[in-house]
Amino acid sequence: MPKWITDRIGVGLIGLLIFSLLLTVTGYIASYDARRKMNAFASDGRTISGMITNKYIRDVTRDQAYWVYVHNVSRTQTHMVDVSFQTEDGKFHYGSADVTNAIYDLSEVGSLIRVTYVRSNPDWFYVADNAPTDRDVAVFSGMFFYAGTGSLLILIALGAFIFWTPVGGTSAGESAMATGSREASFRPTRPQSRAGFGKRPGH
């Protein structure tokens, strides 16, 4: 196989391995974080009334925010609200959260909305009933499992590719066959005697 083809295959396998490893790490961190938040809301959560300071639609494919005058909302867009709420220690906190389409349509800037936050970490909060659930954990856990399995398979394929394709673009099996052929070609051969060679005439 030409060297440039093997080089491209090797680069492609390395790229796939890096991508799958990133997905594996992301899935693990996200599932762990979602599980931590669920436990924190259950054990240390408090529900209060917050105020909506802004609302907009975010296109998740382009990561761009479109303000409330946007009318054509596609399935790839998320409805967001900015909220301000005061914790029990008297401090104000600000943040953004996604909401359902129905809550988004009924909400107005300046109106009140229910906010549930973690007392020990007010940066963890959700609005209305949009709490993290077991489904969120399952999604990220599935990402971690399948991406991890893919990483292992790609790593095995990459190891086999490196073993069978050493520097020079020739596989290990082909190298061994070529070495054997060269040894056979340089092996000294014994002269074979012809029939009747060395015999005296008449004998």
Rg of the chain, C-alpha, whole Å: 34
Are 52 and 107 within 8 A, CB to CB? yes
Residue 186 has pLDDT above 50, yes or no: no
Sorted by where each begins, the domain ranges of the chain are: 43-131
Residue bearing the bigger pLDDT, 82 or 67: 82
**How far, in Å, CA of 56 to CA of 102, rounded?**
14
Over the stretch 74-94, which tens digit does the pLDDT of each residue have? 456 788 999 999 998 899 999
Tell me which CATH code domain 43-131 carries: 2.40.50
**How far, in Å, CA of 155 to CA of 16, rounded?**
9
Helices (H), 45-133: 101-106
64: Cα separation from own chain's centroid: 22
**How far, in Å, CA of 28 to CA of 50, rounded?**
32
- 2-6, 38-42, 172-176: least confidently modelled range: 172-176
